[in-house]
Structure 1
Amino acid sequence: MNRFSRLFALLVTAVLAGCGQPEFSDAEKKTIASLALSALPPLKADTTNRFADVPAAAALGATLFFDVGMSGDGKVSCSTCHKIDRQFQDDLPQAVGAGRTNRRTMPLAGVAHDAWLFWDGRRDSLWAQALVPLENPLEQAGNRAAYAHYIKARFGERYERIFGPLPDLSNVPANASPLGSDAEKAAWNAMSDAQAEGVNRVFANIGKAIAAFERSIAPPQTRFDRFAAALATGIQLPQGDDAMSPEEILGLKLFIGKANCVTCHTGPRFSDGSFHNTGVPPVANLPPDRGRMDAVAQVEADPFNCFGAFRDGDASACGELRFIVKAGPELVRAYKTPSLRGAATRPPYMHAGQFSSLDEVVAHYSKAPASVEGVSEVHPLQLSNRERAALVAFLKTLAE
């Protein structure tokens, strides 16, 4: 081989090697690193729940999470909708417990990092959130007095080893709640203040145990995370099954660039934890749903919120509730940004399962239709078919 041939061969080799290594700007690399699971900070201590990191509380919470006895008819548990083999969700457009609800079940991986719970943020702690389905007539459809009796009968010793002595329930009605049927409300109103406080304390501790278990549910590493780690360290990018294709890399660039997805789907969980109106249409035959607008009053009225008597610690933990945005057009039909980790394998999408595929989701954001109420924050992206397909391809790397 002459000198010219050798030089040409070296040039071709260099070009081909360069083609195999995608180019990212320093700003893009910084953004990609911020999305990697390795950037997820350790869970903060939940000072409103002093049992949050107590192993015995988490073990009891796990038992209660899967126990159908924690329902009015003995047929529904938390795991009915939060299925352990389906990322703790149920693949349904609206959750079905004792009845059909009006919202999609949210997955639980990393949920303990959230300041607000539910699609509309109507609860301000994981333990307060865990209490709502227990008494919702469409979910577990029980009542707090019945749960207190059930805990004493089934788990009394375990409960007392964790939380201390159970209250005297001997004269507490079998079924009573301030939120239940007319008969349950009447029974609740006939109880003494001490009896009501005792039942509420047991009820709160049920939520704290379930929350302790849910804090252990973490998102797994994905193909994107392995790519991001290699990119950050400057070593050779993953090869074989772990490699990202040119289409997936284009989708990543669009995600953090032109498509602007990263504005809301930010951080290692691909969620800012905030509430946005993105013009998602309502579902016919479901009750009116105004999202965050109607949730503010609910979280403020919740006796188990951070300012309530059942919070552990002091009010210094209540900054989110203290400075809650109470009104404004931006709250109308605003819903919490869901995490995109694992999203590719858990259709349907949006707060009431409005879209059956990621292709439909991307098409919605590309067109950005006006909201039926309030003002949508998104604007038409005018993505080509190739770009839309690339975005979907990238999102799949968050589930592999």
Structure 2
Amino acid sequence: MKTLGIKAGMALAGMPVAMAIAAGVSTSASQAALRDAWVPEDLQTLATMQLDRVIPRPADPSNIHERSRNAASLGRALFNDPRLSRNGRVSCASCHTPAGQFEDGRPVGQGIGTGKRRTMPVMGAAGAPFLFWDGRKDSLWSQALGPMEDGAEHGGNRVRFARIMQSQYAAQYERVFGPLPAMPSLPPDASPLGTQDERAAWAALPPAAREQVNRIFANMGKAIAAYESRVQYGPSRFDRYVRSTLAADRPGQDVLTVQEVRGLRLFLGKGQCITCHNGPMLSDHAFHNTGVPPLDPRRPDRGRADAIPKLLRDEFNCLGPYSDAKPEQCGELNFLATNDPAHLGAFRTPSLRNVADRAPYMHAGQITTLQDVVRHYVEAPEAAIGRSELARPGEAPRQRQAIRLSPQDVEDLAAFLGTLSGAVDQPR
């Protein structure tokens, strides 16, 4: 099989790098000079995994304020404000800690109560078509609203949020969204998702008042999304290794150890990790059932299967009245599969960037170490609910072959995953 080595910033025989890869030009001498030689197919795959290959996505059509600096400034303030919770002690930053990995290191989230799933990091979320482990939200701004009303997270209510915006953020809000409505006759607390008294108070509000409150609430989410969309992963040792390899830079390959490179080869090869963890974010943004054991075997989490009805009836989705998008711009929602049996027990593929810094793992922190995560895929247990995509040794293949790794392979693959960590880039 031919091999490729690509000179950084140069052409091979007058051919640009991209054309050289596409044409499969043989440069065996360049590869032979490297510590780690790669075949053309692997080089092309590695190139697609670089962080700088992230294609700038179009602005979210459902949030016309996403790229506004004023909106991001307001969103940052809201993200860090514990007054947006029932007990005045919980903010978005309580679980998505900016000083860490924009998550909390707990098996499940802890707000005013205890959640049921792991906190996901903010970085890269703006590029995902669906948010949360089960994908029950279809935009970053809509996702930001969910925890604010959730009884185990912020536990707040919409009218209280509107009053806080009036008393604390009127000027900042006006710079982005225009003047706040007066709303003088609102009760102290009211929400369609709150306590029994709060729901009754919400039902008693005139429709126009409910619409005004909902608009303020939606705009709070849009401001938070403008801030969160600016929080990004920074480059890792892996990215530097790929850049050096594509540039035929022999000393540059030393950024990874020999063991870590063995793990990378397993990642692309018999470990089959690349099947779901691909592209610059190392995620296919899809939903998979891989037989992860539930926290409570008596009540296994149905995952994506239960999320789709919630998404479709969400008034804050892309097709809802508070979205800035035209209906034809909501492609993900318009063509959503609603009755796929594979959704049962399926959860979103998380990004593997900075994964070594984010233990524990899986949707409810069920697995403690990266080695144990790899062993889970090798053992391929049966799913407690739905059907696992993983094939077990000796079984007929399902969507992929059984994963066969030695104990040393497990260590090597876990070592490679540690190379995916980089700094978190935050807006100043």
Q: What's the offset of the Cα at 1:246?
A: 1.4
The aligned amino acid for 2:61 is: T
The separation in 2 between residues aligned to 1:291 and 1:246, in whole angstroms, is: 39
- Distance between the aligned counterparts of 1:281 and 1:263, measured in 2? 21
Mapping for residues 276-355 of structure 1, pairs under 5 Å: 276-284=288-296, 288-355=300-367
Q: Point out where structure 2 has 5 or more consecutive residues left out of the alignment.
A: 1-28, 392-401, 423-428
- Matched letter for residue 281 of structure 2: R
In the aligned structure 2, how far is the partner of 1:148 from the partner of 1:45? 26
2:256 is matched with 244
Question: Following superposition, which runs of at least 4 residues in structure 1 exceed 2 angstroms of deviation?
Answer: 17-20, 233-237, 284-288
Assess if the C-alpha contact under 8 Å between 1:118 and 1:129 holds in 2. Answer: yes
Contact 1:344 1:395 in 2 (8 A): yes
**Which residue is 1:382 aligned to?**
404
What is the aligned residue count?
A: 383
TM-superposed deviation, 1:18 = 5.1
- From 389, 392, 395, give the equivalent of 2:417: 395
Change (3 A) 1:286 1:91: farther
Q: Is the 8 A contact 1:102 1:287 kept in 2?
A: no
Offset of residue 161 of structure 1: 1.5
Aligned counterpart for 2:218 among listed residues 186, 204, 207: 204
Please, what is the CA RMSD of the aligned residues? 1.5
In the alignment, which residue of structure 1 is the partner of 2:23? none
C-alpha contact (below 8 Å) 1:93/1:104 kept by paired residues? yes
| Displacement after TM superposition at 1:160 (Å) | 1.1
Question: What secondary structure sits across from 1:209 in the alignment?
Answer: helix
Secondary structure of 1:52's aligned partner:
coil
Secondary structure of the 1:84 match is coil
Compare the two structures and name the one with the higher helix fraction: 1
* Aligned-partner Cα distance in 2 for 1:41–1:20: 29
Q: For the residues of structure 2 that align with 1:72 and 1:163, how far apart are their CA atoms?
A: 25
Q: Is the CA contact 2:319–2:325 (under 8 Å) kept in the aligned structure 1?
A: no
SS at match of 1:220: strand
Tell me whether 1:187 sits opposite 2:201 in the alignment: yes
Are the counterparts in 1 of residues 244 and 253 from structure 2 also a CA contact under 8 Å?
Answer: no
Query: In 2, Cα distance between the equivalents of 1:164 and 1:144?
Result: 19
Q: What is the SS of the residue equivalent to 2:223? A: helix
- Do the aligned partners of 2:245 and 2:253 also contact (CA within 8 Å) in 1? no
Deviation at 1:155, TM superposition (A): 0.5
Deviation of 1:235 after TM superposition, in Å, equals 2.7
CA contact (8 A) 2:245 2:252 kept: no
Matched with 2:228 is 214
**What pairs with 1:93-172 in structure 2 (closer than 5 Å)?**
93-172=107-186
What is the Cα deviation at residue 399 of structure 1?
1.3
Pairing partner for 2:99 from 75, 85, 99: 85
Instruction: Give the Å deviation of 1:287.
Output: 5.3
Separation in 2 of the partners of 1:44 and 1:334? 28
- Cα displacement string for residues 139-177 of structure 1 (whole angstroms, at most 9, x for unaligned residues): 000001100000000011111121011122211111111
Contact 1:76 1:140 in 2 (8 A): yes
Does residue 61 of structure 1 match 2:45?
no
Shift of 1:20: 5.7
1:237 to partner: Cα distance: 4.5
**Paired residue for 1:234?**
248
What are structure 1's unaligned runs of at least 5 residues? 1-14
Which residue of structure 2 lines up, in the alignment, with residue 366 of structure 1?
A: 378
Q: CA deviation at 1:186?
A: 0.5
For 1:121, what is the secondary structure of its paired residue?
coil
Q: TM-score, normalised by structure 1?
A: 0.93
Q: CA deviation at 1:234?
A: 2.4
Q: Does the 8 A contact of 1:52 with 1:211 survive in 2? A: yes
Secondary structure in structure 1 of the residue aligned to 2:113: coil
